[in-house]
């Protein structure tokens, strides 16, 4: 049995797939509301940024389940190959959508858009398609994002980092070693969320103190925040997959969905007067609530066809939706700034229209582009791998 056949034969965690889609939907709503929010404390769906930490936890769990017991057979390159096939086609799609819409998104605060030549924008697009993050000096929008054509790409950069760490180092740890590593990583989460700032790196993000917002740039503070947000949830998810803790709850998908929605939508907790309370909220969400959701989601089962169908659809669309929606948010920001005087109902109608538009674009991207490209890559790389193994003067070169 080949690794691909083995992975295909493993039962899926349908509920975890569905929860990824629920979180992706909430992220889109979070960003649509963000256009009208004067600051983090006033944001509707206030803790929507924690969806990224939840995604990391889900990814760690699924990576451990899918690859831990087959890693030696497929090898490091085989693992990287599978992760690139799974993730990278949509990275390219999201960047290309951002490039096509770039000059339509010159909203206030994005003054660099109008100053950017087409050649520079295309160079940035090429770097984005290759998942090469931009330094602040190469910013072409104004937010110093690693991919200014597609703001959501920053978390995929850290997802790639997590996969590299897993393949080269963390998978080799014993259970005790992984527990120690996860415990030490929890301190980083606490350090950022509680604004302890042990190493003096968080002064530049006082506007987001006592939150986990950040990780989208290559400045020292953003790199530290990104690492802190990645390590605990991702490798805590890996640890839970290895330990095998599960909690079977009737209606598990719906209970987990409600918990995710409540955690992400809960208003800012006393940020103006008691900032540390909101930091504590974020800490508890990441360190305690998200692992609990993983345990419940992995242990519960869908008990009817309709719920199963919803979970499968949400799981299928979750990644395309997440990685392609943000270029449309730039356009919404521009439109909202140019039409401030229109009735609130008009702004609501536009936001709702964008919500369903990005879902449609994500589904079309999945079916017309992502799935065919991934299938072609699987066949192409498999054939190339067999050819390489059988080539040469009797020497066997194993690349997968």
pTM given for the model: 0.94
Tell me the pLDDT band of 397, cut-offs 50, 70 and 90: very low
Q: What percent of the chain has pLDDT over 90?
A: 86
Residues whose CB falls within 8 Å of the CB of residue 18, separated by 6 or more in sequence, listed in order: 253, 257, 307, 310, 311, 312, 314, 315
Backbone angles phi, psi at 132, to 5 degrees: -100, 110
d(CA 310, CA 344): 32
pLDDT range class, residue 388, cuts 50, 70, 90: very low
pLDDT score recorded for residue 31? 97
DSSP 282-345: HHHIIIIIHHHHHHHHHH----SHHHHHHHHHHHHHHHHHHHHSHHHHHHHHHHHHHTTTS-HH
Mean pLDDT of 130-142: 95
The mean pLDDT value for 242-266 works out to 97
**pLDDT score, position 206:** 86
Q: Decide: residue 397, CB within 10 A, 0-12 exposed, 13-18 middle, 19+ buried.
A: exposed
Percent above pLDDT 70 for the chain = 92
Residue whose pair of structure tokens reads 């950017």 in the numeric block: 116
Structure confidence at residue 146 (pLDDT): 97
* Gyration radius of the chain over CA positions: 21
Three state DSSP letters for 332-368? HHHHHHHCCCCCHHHHHHHHHHHHHHHHHHHHHHHHH
Q: How confident is the model at residue 232, as a pLDDT?
A: 98
76 Cβ neighbours under 8 A, 6+ residues apart: 167, 168
* pLDDT for residue 3 is more than 70: no
Region of poorest pLDDT, from 222-236, 241-255, 386-400: 386-400
Q: What is the mean pLDDT of residues 114-122?
A: 97
Going by pLDDT thresholds of 50, 70 and 90, the confidence category of residue 2 is very low
For residue 202, the SS3 value is coil
Number of CB atoms found within 10 A of residue 196's CB: 13
Band of pLDDT at residue 39, cut at 50, 70 and 90? confident
Torsion (CA) 30, 36, 40, 41 in degrees, nearest 10: -110
Average model confidence (pLDDT) for the chain?
Answer: 92
Determine the Cα–Cα distance for residues 323 and 329; give it in Å rounded to an integer.
12
For 261-311, the pLDDT digits (tens) are 999 999 998 755 558 999 999 999 999 999 999 999 999 999 899 999 999
Q: Confirm if 171 and 71 have CB atoms less than 8 A apart.
A: yes
Q: Please state at what angle helix 14-34 crosses helix 252-265, rounded to 10 degrees.
A: 20
pLDDT tens-digit profile of 63-79?
Answer: 999 999 999 999 999 99
- pLDDT tens per residue, range 204-240: 888 899 999 999 999 999 999 999 999 999 999 999 9
- Of 175, 183, 298, 297, the closest CA to residue 231 belongs to 183
pLDDT of residue 8: 53
Q: Summarize pLDDT for 300-330 with one digit per residue, the tens.
A: 999 899 999 999 999 999 999 999 999 999 9
Cα–Cα distance measured from residue 275 to residue 380, given in angstroms and rounded to the nearest whole number: 53
pLDDT tens-digit series, residues 149-198 = 999 999 999 999 999 999 999 999 999 999 999 999 999 999 999 999 99
């Amino acid at each position: 049995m080949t690794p691909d056949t083995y992975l295909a034969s493993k039962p899926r965690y349908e509920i975890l797939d569905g929860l990824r889609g629920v979180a992706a939907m909430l992220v889109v709503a979070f960003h649509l509301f963000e256009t009208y929010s004067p600051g983090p404390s006033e944001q509707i769906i206030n803790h929507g940024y924690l969806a990224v930490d939840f995604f990391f936890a889900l990814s760690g769990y699924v990576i451990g389940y899918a690859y831990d017991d087959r890693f030696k057979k497929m090898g490091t390159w085989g693992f990287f190959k599978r992760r690139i096939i799974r993730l990278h086609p949509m990275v390219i799609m999201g960047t290309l959508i951002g490039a096509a819409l770039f000059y339509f998104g010159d909203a206030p605060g994005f003054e660099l858009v109008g100053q950017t030549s087409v050649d520079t924008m295309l160079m940035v697009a090429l770097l984005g398609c290759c998942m090469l993050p931009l330094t602040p000096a190469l910013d072409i929008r104004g937010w110093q994002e690693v991919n200014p054509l597609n703001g959501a790409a920053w978390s995929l950069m850290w997802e790639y980092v997590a996969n590299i760490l897993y393949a080269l180092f963390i998978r080799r740890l014993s259970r005790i070693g992984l527990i120690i590593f996860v415990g030490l990583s929890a301190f980083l989460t606490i350090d950022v969320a509680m604004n302890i700032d042990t190493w003096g790196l968080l002064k530049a993000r006082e506007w987001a103190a006592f939150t986990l917002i950040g990780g989208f740039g290559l400045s020292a503070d953003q790199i530290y925040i990104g690492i802190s947000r990645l390590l605990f949830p991702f490798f805590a998810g890996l640890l839970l997959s290895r330990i095998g803790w599960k909690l079977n709850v009737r209606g598990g998908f719906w209970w987990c969905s409600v918990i995710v929605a409540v955690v992400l939508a809960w208003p800012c907790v006393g940020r103006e007067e008691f900032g540390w309370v909101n930091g504590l909220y974020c800490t508890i969400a990441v360190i305690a609530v998200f692992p609990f959701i993983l345990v419940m989601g992995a242990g519960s089962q869908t008990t009817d066809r309709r719920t199963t169908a919803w979970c499968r659809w949400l799981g299928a669309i979750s990644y395309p939706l997440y990685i392609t929606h943000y270029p449309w948010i730039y356009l919404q920001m521009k439109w909202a700034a140019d039409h401030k005087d229109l009735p609130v109902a008009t702004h609501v109608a536009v936001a709702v229209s964008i919500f369903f538009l990005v879902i449609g674009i994500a589904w079309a991207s999945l079916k017309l582009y992502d799935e065919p490209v991934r299938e072609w890559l699987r066949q192409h790389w498999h054939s190339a791998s067999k050819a390489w193994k059988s080539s040469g003067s009797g020497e066997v070169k194993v690349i997968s």
